Chains A and B, each alone.
Chain A
Amino acid sequence: MVLKAFFPTCCASADSGLLVGRWVPEQNSAVILAVVHFPFIPIQVKKLLAQVQKASQVQVAVLGTWCHRQQEPEENMGHFLEGLGAIFSHDPWLQLCRERGTRFWSCKATYHQMSTNLGTPTEDQVMLIFYDQRKLLLSWLHPPAVLPGCQDGETTASTGGLADIFDTVARSEVLFQNDQFDEGPVRLSHWQSDGMEASILVELAKRASGPVCLLLASLLSLLSAASASWLWKLWPLSFIRSKLSTCEQLWHRLKHLSLIFSTEKAQNPMQLMRKANMLVSVLLDVALGLLLLSWLHSNNRIGQLANALVPVADRVAEELQHLLQWLMGAPAGLKMNRALDQVLGRFFLYHIHLWISYIHLMSPFIEHILWHVGLSACLGLTVALSILSDIIALLTFHIYCFYVYGARLYCLKIYGLSSLWRLFRGKKWNVLRQRVDSCSYDLDQLFIGTLLFTILIFLLPTTALYYLVFTLLRLLVITVQGLIHLLVDLINSLPLYSLGLRLCRPYRLAAGVKFRVLEQEAGRPLRLLMQINPLPYSHVVHTYRLPSSGCHPKHSWGSLCRKLFFGELIYPWRQREDKQD
């Protein structure tokens, strides 16, 4: 197999010296991490390598020599370098050489051990692969190779060639701590040899984050303890809490905040990204909420909104009344049962009348309520949207009630009809066996059954029509609420920090690598450039998506249609308790 030498691009212009890195025998590749320059004492170099090996669990060793010829080729340098092969024995021994001013290199790899039988050292072909050390160090390979013994930091067998290379460079960070301004015994050349990179803001934030996190974590734990106390489990507070989506959203945000400000450090990059995503999501939420707040409270919009609310509610009630009048007549030319029609129509009209009186009772207080509720937008746009959704639910409460009445009536009718239809055919539903069995009925049972069946079937169109109309209205309200919840979900779960990272620093999130063949000369070894292939945006969203609060519809289209046909009540988001009025 061809020997692959991974060479960092930062060392391509370094002075001559020793190559230090890790040898991976399974893939016949040498990952070069740094270059040790002359002059050096071999004992010091070996001591440094032993230290690095202990600290990072990576088997760094001297892999060969690097010769960057500045002037005319020196013969004694060549012999000196070959002599080094005897001091630091490594099999195979690499010899990379570059002439000043050319872009073409010469590489030689000699195997000593295998050739002890043959007597002469055997050589192998070398392929040079350049890589950017800093980018490889900072990037995370997706999907991350999860090894069973990885947490202990032991060197495990290679899972996949490239994951191994990434791993080697990432774990050798301790080797890159010495830069050229250190007064150590050994002078190294690597990506940080010009000086360690750091940012003052990041360091200050790291120092400040300790006490700030402690303070906020204690406050948040107090809040969560208060909200989880037994008071909330009492009725009617638990009832209200389960109905309002605002409470759900606030609880969700509280959980996020306690995770962000928890005092334990993130164990792996996934957790770190999750924390960062949550923080950015909360900040964006609050920023948008404050924007909404400033817009609402300017130009007396709250007053305008409050003044518009009561007429709108009146208008809705009026339209409903017209609808019921239309149903009580001959809707769409259909002929209804007069008596049942009048009963149902009057019942619903009275309900609307009650509702209107209730709204008019509330009208002086609406502006104050809206003003105070508008203040809650400073907690975040999601909270404001949840409150909007709850307000819509409260204002259309009468539609919900009508839907429940219509559905219950229709459901009763359908079940009655199906049971009496079975009686018609002489069958019965066996509850024990959960199947239909034949049954012999008495004459009077059959007579009454047939009578009831006829009555129910002639009343079916009326009930079905009322049910249809109110179900459509209810579905309309549910659609509007659903769209609002979708928007809230989007803000909650979109991983904005990951998307920003993918946009600005694409090498951090790596899906793989890509190779480019560099300029080639016949007879010289093949040179490749290895670059990081960033993760596509769809994969970023899919991998780092935050868990949402779980308000997805629980049934498929098929079961929904079935429930609608049989008149069973639909609970779109969570299990709501049946409202008995």
Chain B
Amino acid sequence: MEDEKSFSDICGGRVVLRRRYYSPYCREFGLSSARLSLRSLTAVTCAVWLAAYGLFTLCENSMILSAAIFITIIGLLGYLHFVKIDQETLLIIDSLGIQMTSSYASGKESTTFIEMDKVKDVIINEAIYMKVIYYLCILLKDPGKPHEISQVVPVFQSAKPRLDCLIEVYRSCQEILAHQKATSASP
């Protein structure tokens, strides 16, 4: 079962939440943010090249122009490969674990998988950062000490959706976690 819904993030931009229910105990949530816009790319490139041309007229050294082109290309590649996150996915599988994937604009994917033993709960936390923002996070526990929280892992850090989107994801995750706790209590 698959559906898509459009929400907004904390800066007012548009994010799309894509939900896929593979089975009663396996769900995936993908948040895609806006792609790199041609307008901003052109603006930055023009600014850099104008500055380089200005320096060139001052110094009469043509190395500045080639250096500017080089810097623009390397900067763009670096930005696409290391900074611009296109889509963030949360895959939750009952009795196996939770997996978070970030796909960058250059196609690189970075994945983290947390086993179900280590997951204590999934919660929505609020933070005060010039205004109040909400974020979804996973609480981890040490398998040896089940009542202490060892780590807090925030999810959807780059997309930063608003509370309405987070509530949908939270409800689904809680269903699965409740089911997991019920079945693990009775082996």
Contact = CB atoms under 8 A, between A and B. Distances in A.
Contacts of B82: none
Interface residues of A, number: 19
B24 to A, nearest CB: 9
B94 A2 contact: yes
A517 interface: yes
Interface in B135-179: 143
Interface stretch (A131-139, A312-320, A461-469, A508-516): A508-516
Given A1-B183, A161-B115, A526-B22, A515 B91 contact: yes
Contacts of B22: 517, 520, 526
Nearest to A526: B23
A160 B113 contact: no
Contacts of B112: 512, 533
A472 interface: no
Contacts, number: 53
A515 B96 contact: yes
B72 interface: no
Interface string B97-111: 001010000000001
B28 interface: yes
Contacts of B123: none
B95 interface: yes
Interface string A278-296: 0000000000000000000
Task: Determine the interface band of chain B, counting residues with CB < 8 A from chain A.
Answer: 20 to 34
Given A1-B184, A2-B95, A512 B23 contact: no
A517 B26 contact: yes
Interface string A398-428: 0000000000000000000000000000000
Nearest to B116: A161
A162 B115 contact: yes
Given A1-B187, A2-B94, A526 B26 contact: yes
Instruction: Among A1, A514, A520, find the residue whose CB has the most chain B CB atoms closer than 10 A.
Output: A1
Given A162-B115, A520-B23, A4 B96 contact: yes
Contact of B99 (A2, A162, A515): A515
B96 A160 contact: no
A514 B184 contact: no
A129 B91 CA distance: 15
A517 B95 contact: no
Interface in A501-537: 512-515, 517, 520, 526, 528, 533
A48 interface: no
Nearest to B183: A1
A3 to B, nearest CB: 9
Interface of A: 1-2, 4, 27-28, 127, 129, 160-162, 512-515, 517, 520, 526, 528, 533
